[in-house]
Structure 1
Amino acid sequence: MEGAPGVPRPPAGVRARIEDKALRHGLAAPWWIGTTAVLAQVAAALVALAQRDALLSPALLAVAVVAAPFVVQAHVHAWVPAWVDLAAGLVGAAWIAALPVVATGLADFLPVSLAFLVAHVTAATSARVGAVAAVSAIGVAVVLPGPLLGTSADPGGAVVGVLEVCLGAVIGYWFRTQMRALAAERAARSQEAERAALAERQRIAREIHDLVAHSLSVTVLHVAGARQVLLDGVADAAEGRPAALDEATREACEALADAEEVGRRAMADIRRTVGLLARGDGEGRYALPDARDLPALVAQVRAAGLPVEAAVEGDLAAVPPALGLGLYRVLQESLANAARHAPGAPVQVEVDVRRGARLRVVNEVLPGAVPGTDGSGTDGMAARVAGLGGTLRAGRRREGGVVRWVVEAEVAR
């Protein structure tokens, strides 16, 4: 924080120590405010000593007593309790008050010093402690030098002293409310920043999960196809058709090449996605997928060997980018789940973006398959659709005597 004009700047470590300790006690304030109050308290005590012609007397130690708690506060890591400040200030003030005022023409500055002390104690503790401090300060500034010691016989000065101390208590309480409000605001901002960072990490994790799950599913389909082709070729060759093995080898190599291409493309997509999400501005040489990429996604999975039928209603180019990305990721995850849990089973995809957006993915549940809704993929889809203001439903349904796994996402526009 910037210091106040005219106030000497302490070392950075001292400033941080003062502010951090105050913040741990729910008080947010720049270092120079408390420092200025203590310096004003000490300066007023020095003027009060001068009014008593005691600057060169042992009573000068009273000012050292007043300043001692703040010096300790600035150089130790532990919090110095406010009652220590109050006790030291009252002791020093009582020492000064025991001396008669010899200078005339100015009101006694001792109540001014005590007013700063009361303001400081009230700001650091509470209104109740501040009231106790104010009563004690009035006793030291008015009762002690007047009726008890007879060193001050100015009734007008006594009234002014009482008002000064009370004003210090009021200012201290007002400042305390401001510091606590600022501390609460800072805490709220810190929590909001933590929530935003967590949401960003979750968003990146969802994107990477979708990319990896989809690419692995498509790769597995290609590899499984290559394996089956080779097995069929070996079987045909064993039955007296040697040319079938050469054809099977060629088809397997093509399938493996497709799998390699999918893997390379997935790695590029992951690097691109992480880069775009890290910048957070959505700018870059390449854009994230949107609704216009849905047909290409279906074609890619179909080429890998998963039988997919797709029907699209509406203009995909008119879908907002954020919504289009959400639909793309939901379809990507749904097709990956279908390839993983029901390989070879037909998949029907319905996309309707005429009024809002509706995506429906249906595949048969094969015997022995145990798809569920507790995986991170389904949770990620639901969170993504909820973030767009829509709803997602996923689960088994019996349609026409056949058990199917249905994923439905709806977002109103």
Structure 2
Amino acid sequence: MLALFAVLGVVMGDRPVLLAVAVATAVAAVAGFAAWRPLIGWPLLAAMVAVAAGLLVLGHGGSANLVWMGFCVAAGWVALASALPVALTGGALLGAALLGEWAQQTEEPGWFAWVVGTAFTLVACAFARRLRATVVELQKAQHQLAERSRAEERSRIAGEVHDVIGHALTVSLLHISSARLALDEDPDEARHALEEAERLARASLEEVRATVGLMRTDATGEVVPMPDAHDISGLVESFRGAGADIGLTVVGDLSSLGPSRGLAAYRIVQEALTNATRHAPGEPVTVLVTVEGGTATVVVRNGGAADPAAPVGNGLLGMRDRAEGVGGRLKAGADPRGWLVEAVLPA
């Protein structure tokens, strides 16, 4: 584009042909080099100053020469490819050159238009550059947000699968142990225990499939609903059926918890019972769920001494994340009567 305006300057100007052609060739060469590199910032400004000097030679003394359009192009190029200080410096130099021509040729009517056109191009391209940078920042932030959302979703799904599989394996092992002990003395009881283990494994497999299905965007068909607070009684019964000594007390209306907080309460009880039967088998466990005053409290207490050297596992971290994810809090640790898990959730 600058080369085109340089050619127009040669045609419309009154400079000697050899001088005009040489200057136009130099202008085209510098502009081509700046585009080929490509130059940005101060190096680009230096190149555009050299180009403007050549255009000034070609158009000196005549505001009707279209060579001055090259000033608008140069100003826009610098503004689009450089920071604001560089663009303002370039605009000042180009404006000074035009004002100098205007001062020498005050009777020429076109200088004001070229000054305004160059300034307008500079401002418009500076805003366009800022807008482009803002769009890039927004796209980057959107990409980071999408990545974080996917990571959080994977973490949530992993927590669901961990809880489901941990519960299924623990209760199934209890049933299998009961079946092994009763195999010789009471075959019917052994058969019943194995049937319960099979039933639980199938139910847990369906729940895992439903949970993993949440990650599929092309999944069709009905989705198995996730458990909520009303299913805590059935959860406790599954452990009781495997021989665990568990007492359950519910105070208040569980329906006020809603699906998300109800699921959190269910998973907390599930993981706490799984840990209790795994680390303190045979010890009695009590579960207390209280809903009152806009707050739901879930307390799971079991007997047996805890190993102080035992590391904090994913289950305990998962319970805390579930409680905090719905705006609640959780504490877990040893107490004088064994081990205590207490979660406080908004109802």
Amino acid at match of 2:160: E
**Do the aligned partners of residues 57 and 83 (structure 1) sit closer, same or farther apart at CA in structure 2, a change above 3 Å counting?**
same
Deviation, structure 1 residue 343: 0.6
Q: List alignment gaps of at least 5 residues for structure 2.
A: none
Q: Distance in 2 between matches of 1:133 and 1:101?
A: 19
Deviation, structure 1 residue 93: 3.8
> Are 1:329 and 2:282 counterparts?
no
Q: Distance in 1 between matches of 2:117 and 2:169?
A: 77
- Are 1:362 and 1:406, in contact at CA under 8 Å, matched by a contact in 2? yes
With structure 2 as the length reference, what TM-score do the two structures score? Answer: 0.84
Deviation, structure 1 residue 70: 6.7
Q: Which among 229, 245, 261 is matched to residue 199 of structure 2?
A: 261
Partner of 1:229: 182
Partner of 2:151: 198
Deviation, structure 1 residue 191: 2.0
Amino acid at match of 1:393: K
Partner of 1:391: 329
Amino acid at match of 1:359: V
Deviation, structure 1 residue 385: 1.0
> Are 1:176 and 2:122 counterparts?
no
Q: Distance in 1 between matches of 2:97 and 2:296?
A: 77
Partner of 1:11: none
* Secondary structure in structure 1 of the residue aligned to 2:214: helix
- Are 1:348 and 1:362, in contact at CA under 8 Å, matched by a contact in 2? yes
Q: Distance in 2 between matches of 1:44 and 1:72?
A: 19
Aligned length: 343
Q: Deviations 1:350-391 (Å, cap 9, x if unpaired)?
A: 11234432211110124x645867221111111111111111
Deviation, structure 1 residue 394: 0.9
Partner of 1:287: 225
Partner of 1:72: 36
Amino acid at match of 2:287: V
- Are 2:6 and 2:58, in contact at CA under 8 Å, matched by a contact in 1? no
Q: Distance in 2 between matches of 1:155 and 1:351?
A: 90
Partner of 1:36: none
Partner of 2:300: 361
> Are 1:274 and 2:227 counterparts?
no
Deviation, structure 1 residue 158: 4.5
* Secondary structure in structure 2 of the residue aligned to 1:254: helix
Q: Distance in 2 between matches of 1:315 and 1:282?
A: 34
**Do the aligned partners of residues 296 and 140 (structure 1) sit closer, same or farther apart at CA in structure 2, a change above 3 Å counting?**
same
Partner of 2:12: 51
Partner of 1:165: 118
Q: Distance in 2 between matches of 1:165 and 1:295?
A: 77
Deviation, structure 1 residue 279: 4.6
Q: List alignment gaps of at least 5 residues for structure 1.
A: 1-38, 74-78, 231-244
Partner of 1:97: 56
Deviation, structure 1 residue 130: 1.6
Deviation, structure 1 residue 97: 2.9
Partner of 2:68: 111
**Do the aligned partners of residues 45 and 289 (structure 1) sit closer, same or farther apart at CA in structure 2, a change above 3 Å counting?**
farther
**Do the aligned partners of residues 395 and 212 (structure 1) sit closer, same or farther apart at CA in structure 2, a change above 3 Å counting?**
same
Deviation, structure 1 residue 261: 2.7
Amino acid at match of 1:405: W
Q: Which among 162, 165, 178 is matched to residue 209 of structure 1?
A: 162
Q: Distance in 2 between matches of 1:160 and 1:218?
A: 86
Q: Distance in 2 between matches of 1:253 and 1:279?
A: 41
**Identical positions, percent:** 31
Partner of 1:185: 138
Q: Which among 249, 252, 262 is matched to residue 314 of structure 1?
A: 252
Amino acid at match of 2:246: V
- Are 1:391 and 1:411, in contact at CA under 8 Å, matched by a contact in 2? yes
Aligned residue runs from structure 1 range 367-382, under 5 A: 369-370=307-308, 374-382=312-320
**Do the aligned partners of residues 122 and 397 (structure 1) sit closer, same or farther apart at CA in structure 2, a change above 3 Å counting?**
same
- Are 1:226 and 1:252, in contact at CA under 8 Å, matched by a contact in 2? yes
- Are 1:69 and 1:85, in contact at CA under 8 Å, matched by a contact in 2? no
**Do the aligned partners of residues 372 and 313 (structure 1) sit closer, same or farther apart at CA in structure 2, a change above 3 Å counting?**
farther
- Are 1:350 and 1:361, in contact at CA under 8 Å, matched by a contact in 2? yes
Deviation, structure 1 residue 336: 0.4
**Do the aligned partners of residues 164 and 310 (structure 1) sit closer, same or farther apart at CA in structure 2, a change above 3 Å counting?**
same
Q: Distance in 2 between matches of 1:312 and 1:371?
A: 33
